[in-house]
Amino acid sequence: MVRSGVIALLLGSQGAPALAADCSFAAFSTVPSVDMTTRWTVRSGRPCDMTVPVNDGIGASSMIVVDQAGDGTASTPTESRIRYVSRPGFVGHDRFVISRTAESMARRVLRGTAHWTVEVDVVP
């Protein structure tokens, strides 16, 4: 995984059944300084958690929401977790942006800030 120079997100949730039932998302690059867009599909009013690796050659990192979702709440409860919850009853499209500053030491030192735009499809 690290040999390719791209670190894929490790998908996580509070449990596999909750992940399968309440949300799904596409993996994307977590290389420092690489801005990316990804798409999540979540159930209305249910939390969706994504775990971001903080090991496997990743040094110091920080993650914050820089553009809040309009019809829900995005948060980074830990340095390795992104959470989104739509407002109850909302169905449609939402969007938020995460900023992550990190250092990767896999093959060479890469430092920088990446902005991850998350396009969210909220379903009943």
**In the chain, where are the structural domains located?**
2-123
Give pairs for 23-27: CB < 8 Å, separation 24+: 23/48, 23/49, 23/84, 25/50
Calpha distance 80→7 (Å, rounded): 14
Which alpha helices (DSSP H) does 2-122 contain, by range?
16-22
Question: How many CB atoms neighbour CB 4 within 10 A?
Answer: 8
In this structure, which CATH number among 2.60.40, 1.10.287, 3.30.920, 3.10.450 belongs to the domain 2-123? 2.60.40
pLDDT tens digits along 39-75:
999 999 999 999 887 655 556 678 999 999 999 999 9
Q: With a threshold of 0.85, does the pTM exceed it?
A: no
